[in-house]
Amino acid sequence: DEDGRRPHARSFTQHKANIWMNKEGPKRKKNRKRSKKRTPLIGTCTSSNPGEIIGEPPQRPTLVSSEVEALQVESPKSAELGNCLRQSKVTSPRKGPSQKPLCNTGSQKTEPLLSGLHVTQPKHTEIASGDPSKTALKVASSNGPVSTLFTLNVEQTQQRASKIKSSKTANTESMKITQSKIRTSESETQPQVLLEGKTKLKQVNKKSPQKTSSSSELNVAQGCKLPFIPVSELLVADTHSSSIPAVNVENTHSKPNVKEKNTSSVTEETHMPNLPPMQFELNTVIMSEAKNKLDHLCNLLDSIVIEHSGKEGYSTNTVIPVLVDQTAKGTSEVAVIPSKFESLPGTVSECQGEKTKEDIEHERKARKEAKAMKKKGGDKSKSENDKQENFNCIKVEKKKAVQQGKPLVVSAVTEEKLPRGKQEPSGSSVPSQGTSQESTTAKSKADLKRERREKQEAQRQAKMIAKAKEVEKQTKGQEQVHLSNDKAKPAPKKKKSAGEGAKRSRDRRIPLLGHLPLHFSQLPIYPVNCDDIHPAVRTLGLKMRDRIVDGSTARVVSTLAALKRFINDYRTPESCDLSRDLAEKLLPNVAFLNACRPHAIAMDNAIRFLKHKVNSIEASMPEAQAKDELRTAIDDYLQENINLASSTIASHAASLIDDGDVILTFGYSAVLIEVVEAVCKGGSNISVVVVDSPHPSSGVSMVKKLSSMSVTTYYRLITDVTHIMHKVTKVVVEAEAVMMNGAIQGICGTAGLALAAATHDTPFIVLCHTYKFCNNDLTDSLVINELGDADSIVSCPSREYFGLLDNWRETQNLNVVSLVYDVTPACLVTALVTEQSVLPTSAVPVIIRRNYADILGQD
């Protein structure tokens, strides 16, 4: 609810979160395997962007930069090809962005860009020639990414749709503008000017943004717009006449995606897959028209990309992921049309003009009708009308709607999703208008204006509905309108500065700990509607973020359970290795979990185990069997390493505890409860001292459980542990992880406890499952750690000091730090109780080498 009340601020912070993730989240490890596959060209740009590897946010930036490049490509080409090749020229910008992802994901390092293009081409034609409606449908159902695109933020699509008035060049341009607009409105430091200046856009390109922004003047760029639009219209008409539904279009569109994915083994990206098809189509168009020019074009593009690769790195860092989503969507939508075009037999440009005109007229009338109906009947009727009027578009939209609705239902936890989902009807109708508008806009300014007005009306209507339903929706609608209005005028400066201030305070990095991801207590971290994150994973991620699932063991168990569900629901795309595809589809899920809360080392181990299992599945194995194998592997892992191990640890530890001992423990530990149970069952009489840290005080539940077992229990804070240490005979704690050198990673405070125990010569016993052993050496607690909620420290319950430090972020030179883990050196640990036996810390490397050789050796 809290999120709902302030949607504006939320989306704001969400973007921030995305930026964070983009910058720092996935720095570790995951780069290696993938980097091999990249072209050298792309490799440079990816390496400059550390966040690139995980999930969507990282890769979106490259999209943007590629788009920019594409625009640049236009200039040399136009110079060379001249006016006769207008069409290919227009398409070329699209080719740019699509090519980029391809390179990113697919081709071998040594393989030149050009060859990559060639490789993909035949595939596309093949698909186009085949029966797209059947095969592609399947793909669409099993393939997440496509739907992901469409489920993207409704508000943004609305904006986009309203902005797309003219040709496709204008389209991409306008998208760019929206980006820059939003960026400025959100106080991002990357204005439109920077993009332009960086990329040295051609005059045509520069003018088209102006045109779109002002919306009254469609002067220069019209020339290049016009030739293309007819084509798209024709395509629409053709699909109508041939009675191939629009789904087809989407399918053909999605099919190459999958293919591309298969060949290039891209799975990190949800959005990327959408782009390749465009490329194919565009390629083929070019091939049909100017085959001999293709190589030359590619070379040109190549060189330009290389030229600007350095700048990409910069732009990628500053671009907001969600916005790039938008671009991805836009480009992909654009791509639909060429694909239709491809599926048509042979017929190309020349004669398209008349047909399209008719069609446009037809459509416009239908749309007017629809709008009138809309005003009367509200959203549902409107969408129905739309359906009648424009069968193709609506079908696509429906799909979107379905896919939007589905995740909403499944993951109830995602609060931020709710408002969006409710607004969906109004939002989904707008893009359809946008696509149809694309064609009509070229006709006249008047049309454009009118349509724009209509669109705004529609938005307003949507807003009204939202108002009636809920307050939160209303605010969101306002936001939408506000943003759409923004395009005419520059972003307000006040907002920007305020945003910057807020950002800076959020950004506040603590010296020495700048490498650790910041703690977000309330922020939605990830863009909501993307399909490659399984609902179970999403739910779990949010639970972990909110510390509902806490403690390394619980997190490992629930992570594996969620991933098991993910594997359950997974279906291998056609002509795709399960092991390769699944391994890649696993990545965004894992990344999401990491974004919600940095992985515990135990989680890393468990995930590594799972990946190892996935990778070791042979290609020949049938899917059902493979999935079965994976599921049983997960079950076995949980059973052996956690359930059975816990009881074994309990019995081992119980053998170390004698009658009359006073045990001191720290915080909550499920294993320790088992130990105490085992000791009590053995007839020994012990008492337990539970010391606790104030943030969070997990020891309370420990005390509750212990006292329910009728064990004498003392509860006190860790601050006065020295008072009781001399009465304690044994200190028993549970470790979060054990490092290669025997050092123990535990909840913050464990190291201090160990020192106190050493001072009093009290045995310090550590309980740990061997699956938590980690092949890292930690000498201090700063390298691998996690920042907790600093606000919880400064919130002081006593009246006298209440709220004194609430605005500590604004205070200069003040750093409030709440670390989650600390590291206890091995020399302070008397014994390490594992399921294998009671071991000294010097046995840790031996155990790791023996038990985890196959998995740990992997990376």
Partner 1 sequence: MSPAIAAMKALMESLRQDDSTTLQEFIEKMKDAREALSDTDVSVVSVSSGCELFMRFITLKHLELEQAADFASCREILLRRGEDFIKSMEENRKKILRSSNTLIKDGMTILTHSRSRNVLAVMTEAAKQGRQFDVFVTESQPDCSGCRMADELKAAGIPCIVILDSAVGYVMERVTAVMLGAEGVCENGGILNKIGSCTVATLAHLKNKPVYVMVESYKFIRTIPLNNSSLPKKYLHRASVLKSDRDLKSAHPLVDYTPPQNLTLLYTDLGVLPTSAVTEHLIKLYT
Contacting positions for partner 1 (CB under 8 A): 656, 658, 730, 761, 763, 765, 827, 830-831, 836-840, 842-843, 846-847, 850
Identify the CA nearest to 706 among candidates 746, 736, 652, 667.
667
Residue placing its CB nearer to partner 1 in the complex, 761 or 800: 761
Phi, psi of 687 (to 5 degrees): -125, 150
Residue placing its CB nearer to partner 1 in the complex, 348 or 843: 843
Q: How far is the CB of 649 from partner 1 (least distance, A)?
A: 14
Residue placing its CB nearer to partner 1 in the complex, 572 or 665: 665
Assess contact for 794 and 694: CB atoms under 8 A. no
Residue placing its CB nearer to partner 1 in the complex, 606 or 758: 758
Amino acid type, 622: P
Identify the CA nearest to 669 among candidates 600, 750, 601, 597.
750
Q: How far is the CB of 689 from partner 1 (least distance, A)?
A: 17
Q: How far is the CB of 836 from partner 1 (least distance, A)?
A: 7
Q: How far is the CB of 837 from partner 1 (least distance, A)?
A: 7
For residue 564, what are its two tokens? 């098991």
Residue placing its CB nearer to partner 1 in the complex, 94 or 652: 652
Tokens 């009807």 correspond to 425
Q: How many helices (H) and strands (E) does the chain have?
A: 36, 10
Q: How far is the CB of 720 from partner 1 (least distance, A)?
A: 25
Residue placing its CB nearer to partner 1 in the complex, 528 or 844: 844
Question: Distance between CA 648 and CA 640 in Å, rounded?
Answer: 10
CB contact burial 320-331 (16+ within 10 A = b; e otherwise) = bbbbbbbbbbbb
Q: How far is the CB of 831 from partner 1 (least distance, A)?
A: 5
Q: How far is the CB of 775 from partner 1 (least distance, A)?
A: 16
Question: Distance between CA 94 and CA 850 in Å, rounded?
Answer: 53
Cα 366 to Cα 210, 371, 379, 386, 433, distances in angstroms: 30, 9, 16, 8, 11
Residue placing its CB nearer to partner 1 in the complex, 730 or 809: 730
Show Cβ contacts of residue 756 under 8 Å, excluding neighbours closer than 6 positions.
721, 722, 725
Preceding omega of 276 cis (within 30 degrees of 0):
no
For 214, other C-beta atoms within 10 Å of its C-beta total 11
Assess contact for 787 and 519: CB atoms under 8 A. yes
Q: How far is the CB of 826 from partner 1 (least distance, A)?
A: 9
Cα 173 to Cα 204, 283, 333, 417, distances in angstroms: 10, 21, 14, 29
Residue placing its CB nearer to partner 1 in the complex, 617 or 844: 844
Residue placing its CB nearer to partner 1 in the complex, 561 or 656: 656
Residue placing its CB nearer to partner 1 in the complex, 139 or 686: 686
Q: How far is the CB of 645 from partner 1 (least distance, A)?
A: 15
Beta-strand (E) ranges in 708-856? 712-717, 730-734, 737-738, 744-747, 764-767, 821-824, 831-833, 838-839
Question: Distance between CA 558 and CA 554 in Å, rounded?
Answer: 6
Q: How far is the CB of 769 from partner 1 (least distance, A)?
A: 17
For residue 790, what are its two tokens? 């600093």
Residue placing its CB nearer to partner 1 in the complex, 656 or 805: 656
Output the CA torsion 37→40→46→47 (10° steps): 100
Assess contact for 536 and 566: CB atoms under 8 A. yes
Q: How far is the CB of 839 from partner 1 (least distance, A)?
A: 6
Residue placing its CB nearer to partner 1 in the complex, 504 or 726: 726
Residue placing its CB nearer to partner 1 in the complex, 676 or 790: 676
Identify the CA nearest to 573 among candidates 260, 214, 205.
260
Using DSSP, state whether 384 is helix, strand or coil: helix
Amino acid type, 410: V
Strand partners, 691: 666, 716
3-class SS letters over 416-475: CHHHHHHHHHHHHHHHHHHHHHHHHCCCCHHHHHHHHHHHHHHHHHHHHHHHHHCHHHHH
Q: How far is the CB of 706 from partner 1 (least distance, A)?
A: 22
Return the CA Rg of the chain: 29
Residue placing its CB nearer to partner 1 in the complex, 254 or 830: 830
Q: How far is the CB of 750 from partner 1 (least distance, A)?
A: 18
Residue placing its CB nearer to partner 1 in the complex, 9 or 838: 838
Residue placing its CB nearer to partner 1 in the complex, 80 or 659: 659
3-class SS letters over 460-513: HHHHHHHHHHCHHHHHHHHHHHHHHHHCCCCCCHHHHHHHHHHHHHHHCCCCCC
Residue placing its CB nearer to partner 1 in the complex, 658 or 777: 658
Q: How far is the CB of 679 from partner 1 (least distance, A)?
A: 14
Residue placing its CB nearer to partner 1 in the complex, 19 or 757: 757
In terms of DSSP H, where are the helices of 709-837? 721-725, 750-759, 790-794
CB contact burial 341-360 (16+ within 10 A = b; e otherwise) = bbbeeeeebeebeebbeebb
Cα angle 561, 567, 572 (rounded to 5 degrees) comes to 175
Using DSSP, state whether 797 is helix, strand or coil: coil
Q: How far is the CB of 829 from partner 1 (least distance, A)?
A: 10
Question: Distance between CA 40 and CA 44 in Å, rounded?
Answer: 6
Q: How far is the CB of 726 from partner 1 (least distance, A)?
A: 15
Q: How far is the CB of 838 from partner 1 (least distance, A)?
A: 5
Q: How far is the CB of 309 from partner 1 (least distance, A)?
A: 50
Show Cβ contacts of residue 250 under 8 Å, excluding neighbours closer than 6 positions.
136, 140, 146, 336, 395, 396, 399
